[in-house]
């Protein structure tokens, strides 16, 4: 496979994630769309680094750090979403207008 194939896959994954994030009203589905978009960026970056300098592990280390940070960020996001749902029984984005304070 060439770098174009990986970048095409990353673009398709990003497009699906963007559609999912913009078309859904459920907070969890929006977060899943954001997760797909972040995964697409990671796939594109990993493919670019692999094909530009395959002997160096700099890109691989940065991708592992990005995946770790992304997992922590998504866990925190789901924890906040779960806390809001338990406190106010809100699971759709249009119902969060009353959370302003």
Whole-number Å distance between alpha carbons of 3 and 64: 20
Could you give the domains of the chain? 3-90 (1.10.287.3510)
45-54: per-residue pLDDT in tens? 888 888 888 7
Q: Could you tell me which residue, 54 or 21, shows the higher pLDDT?
A: 21
pLDDT at 67 over 80: yes
Q: Tell if the pTM clears 0.85, that is, is over it.
A: no
Report the pLDDT value the prediction gives residue 10, as an integer from 0 to 100.
94
Average pLDDT over residues 22-27: 85
CA distances (Å), origin 51, targets 6, 34, 45, 64: 10, 26, 10, 17
């Amino acid at each position: 496979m060439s770098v174009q194939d990986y970048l095409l896959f990353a673009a398709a994954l990003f497009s699906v994630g963007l559609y999912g994030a913009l078309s859904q009203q459920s907070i969890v589905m929006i977060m899943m769309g954001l997760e797909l978009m972040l995964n697409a960026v990671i796939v594109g970056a990993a493919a670019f680094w692999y094909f530009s300098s395959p002997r160096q592990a700099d890109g691989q280390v940065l991708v592992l750090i990005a995946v770790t940070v992304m997992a922590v960020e998504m866990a925190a996001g789901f924890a906040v979403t779960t806390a809001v749902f338990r406190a106010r029984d809100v699971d759709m984005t249009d119902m969060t207008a009353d959370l302003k304070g």
